[in-house]
Chains A and B, each alone.
Chain A
Amino acid sequence: MKVDMTNVSENTMNISDLIYKYMRIEHLPHIWCPGCGNGIILRAVAQAMENMKLERNKTVLVSGIGCSSRAAGYLDCNSIHTTHGRAIAYATGIKMAHPDYEVIVITGDGDASAIGGNHLIHAARRNIGLTVIVMNNNIYGMTGGQYSPTTPHREFGTTAPYGNIDQPFDIAKLAMGAGATFAARSTVYHAPQLAGIIEKGIRHKGFSVIDVTSICPTYYGRKNKKGSAVDMMRWQKENSIPVEKAKDMPEEELEGKLVVGVLRDKEAVEYSEEYSRLVDAVQGGIK
């Protein structure tokens, strides 16, 4: 599948205007470490909102716990920083109550696929209209560098001092396996495309997951000798393969690479609207 960028307006607003318009500047600067990739994703979310001219009063940002979770509060919308792993469950209640609201979940790899894994797969199964943006830095950053469900095999964390013997999740594939109707992967290196992909995810009617490979030079990078933030971004540049190119490549060649772009985009009945139709039918006497 090709990433269609025709309807996506890139960088139409300069960065400081974007920040002043969409962020709660009184709460900036953000808490993330120097070199962290999360700020790039935050900005991409703001850019997507600007591109779509989203109505902020009807937009709800929902987050869980971890480094990623602070993103929700920085955006000048309705924001709720919930409990660890449960952002998608809270978001489900908000979307059910108000199918007309745009509900965006910002989560992390541990939040979404470890403690919150059950909610991720079930929201995907229901195809409820949430946009889930995963700030995937392959580590538990907030607690100081423990291995997460996306830490690669044999890499290190403070709780994997001899190397990680777990096999990692591919969060985009996990969501697709559970029925997500929109799934994409991007990286913080691909910042301009990222805003477009997020926009597509928000526009998609149904459950969208955008697995964004972030960078954590402070913990993941240092523990695994990945070099500086710039080195880690360079790695992303050199090891990302657009999905349309990856289609024709043998699996061995894709080993250890990031296949970026929209991995799935299909139409299906959205859950909260389906329930609203059910309510109408019951009230109309149609059983």
Chain B
Amino acid sequence: MAKTVLMQGNEACVEGALAAGMRFYAGYPITPSTEIAEVSALRLPQVGGKFIQMEDEIASIACAIGASVSGVKSMTATSGPGFSLKQENLGYACLAEIPLVVVDVQRSGPSTGLPTSPSQGDVMMAKWGTHGDHPMIAIAPSSVKECYELAIRCFNLSEKYRTPVLFLMDEIIGHLREGIEIPDKVEIVNRPTVVNPHPKRPAYAPTDDLIPAMAPFGKGQRYNITGLLHDESGFPTNDTEIAGALVTRLMKKIDNNYDDIVQVEETLMDDAKVAVFCFGGTARAAKSAVETARAKGIKCGMFRPITIWPFAEKELAKAMKGVKKIIVAEHNYGQLVNEVRRVVGPEKRIEFIGKVDGTVITPDEILAKIEEA
């Protein structure tokens, strides 16, 4: 059996990424994600991978995309301000369909904010931060164990669907040390590719599953990649029909696979009349609060989206059917609460707990809302 080791969340993220096959990391120092760069710098050469510290946040994501088009699984990590800077190139990877994992260890904002304090204020930016319509997959861990396991999942989804995946960590989990068991074997998915391709094979040749298969640069399929809307050859087009079909396909390749992508955790929800909706680090406070409430005889449960985007609307709607009161707890001024409202409708009672002062939402604060008449 695998041995339990003490590990920090940021470190576990790197170990998970390495297990998933990450062999390139480009980054720029920023609190509270810096340990991800530090551990990558140490570990990558040990497994034959490469690390580079770039001159800024934009260069970091650009460099990681460059390595990925060459067929190397790549990652970059950052925090709030850096995540803002990466948005344009995140959109590029979406449109050009280049696998990439971007980690955002969220910290208090706006602007430089409270660099060492926890936040979950980048949740909406994760979906809407870059311009234009594009699909987005974002995943939030709530334990060190999940930092490892879900980092692997981020890579697998990114490869499978040829799209960047966001690992939306937060300072609570990134800097937390817990014991985890490192499994001997993990399931790894590699991107769709073509072997011995014709040099002129179009990079974005149509496929049944809407996910293009292309060889990495250097394998004989000489194609073009662009951030302009393009036809299947990868060349810019002004044809409105082709342009519209491309954006629609990008959306559909994720929408069609909702069930494969969306994961939630439901704790004690079966008979719950009160539900706590939370994600990431906040779930730890919620779980303690729910346990205490149950001990007091309150029929209370927790609903936690593990996949933040696409939003778990099917699961949420189903889980909240018998619930009288939903408590939404998140470290921001109110972001996912609006998604919850959209899904459950205007009649359902929602109580919001938000924090923007850099302190952590405690079990007592959640419990107080659970017990509130």
Which residues does A use to contact B, with CB under 8 Å?
Answer: 24, 27, 56-58, 60, 62, 72-73, 76-83, 86, 89-98, 101, 118-119, 121-122, 275, 278-279, 282-283
One digit per residue, 1 when the CB lies within 8 angstroms of any chain A CB and 0 when it does not, for chain B 47-81 equals 01110101110111011111111111010000000
The residue of chain B having its C-beta at the shortest distance from the C-beta of A275 within the complex is: B50
Known A57-B220, A122-B54; judge A282-B46 contact (CB<8 A): yes
Contacts of B64 in A (CB 8 A): 93
Contacts of A62 in B (CB 8 A): 66
Q: Apart from A89-B62, A91-B66, what 5 extra A-B contacts exist at CB < 8 Å?
A: A86-B89, A89-B60, A93-B26, A97-B24, A97-B72
Contacts of A83 in B (CB 8 A): 62, 88-89, 92, 227
Docked Cα-Cα span, A111 to B146, in Å, equals 41
Pick the residue among B45, B52, B60, B235 that contacts A96 (CB under 8 A).
B52
Secondary structure of the A side of the interface?
A: helix
Q: B218 an interface residue at 8 Å Cβ cutoff? A: yes
B217 lies within 8 A of A82 (CB) = no
A81 lies within 8 A of B226 (CB) = yes
Docked Cα-Cα span, A81 to B237, in Å, equals 14
Nearest CB of A to B169, in Å = 23
Known A57-B218, A57-B222; judge A89-B59 contact (CB<8 A): yes
A81 lies within 8 A of B45 (CB) = no
B63 lies within 8 A of A89 (CB) = yes
Q: B228 an interface residue at 8 Å Cβ cutoff? A: yes
B217 lies within 8 A of A101 (CB) = yes
Contacts of A118 in B (CB 8 A): 55-56, 59
Docked Cα-Cα span, A25 to B106, in Å, equals 48
Docked Cα-Cα span, A57 to B215, in Å, equals 11
- How many of B's residues come within 8 Å of A, CB to CB? 43
Known A81-B226, A89-B54, A275-B50; judge A119-B59 contact (CB<8 A): yes
Q: Which of B59, B71, B225 has the most CB of A within 10 A?
A: B59
5 nearest A-B residue pairs (beta carbon): A93-B66, A89-B62, A93-B63, A89-B59, A93-B67
The residue of chain A having its C-beta at the shortest distance from the C-beta of B55 within the complex is: A122
A79 lies within 8 A of B224 (CB) = yes
Contacts of B220 in A (CB 8 A): 57
Nearest CB of B to A68, in Å = 14
Nearest CB of B to A9, in Å = 24
Contacts of B66 in A (CB 8 A): 62, 80, 89-97
Nearest CB of B to A215, in Å = 24
The residue of chain B having its C-beta at the shortest distance from the C-beta of A72 within the complex is: B224
Contacts of A58 in B (CB 8 A): 218
Pick the residue among A27, A56, A60, A92 that contacts B235 (CB under 8 A).
A27
B63 lies within 8 A of A90 (CB) = yes
Docked Cα-Cα span, A91 to B66, in Å, equals 6
Docked Cα-Cα span, A15 to B50, in Å, equals 41
Contacts of A57 in B (CB 8 A): 199, 218-220, 222
A279 lies within 8 A of B48 (CB) = yes
Docked Cα-Cα span, A82 to B223, in Å, equals 14
24 contacts between A and B (CB under 8 A): A57-B222, A58-B218, A60-B70, A73-B236, A78-B217, A79-B224, A79-B225, A80-B226, A82-B227, A83-B88, A89-B58, A92-B66, A93-B66, A93-B67, A94-B66, A94-B69, A94-B217, A97-B50, A97-B70, A101-B218, A118-B56, A122-B55, A279-B48, A282-B46
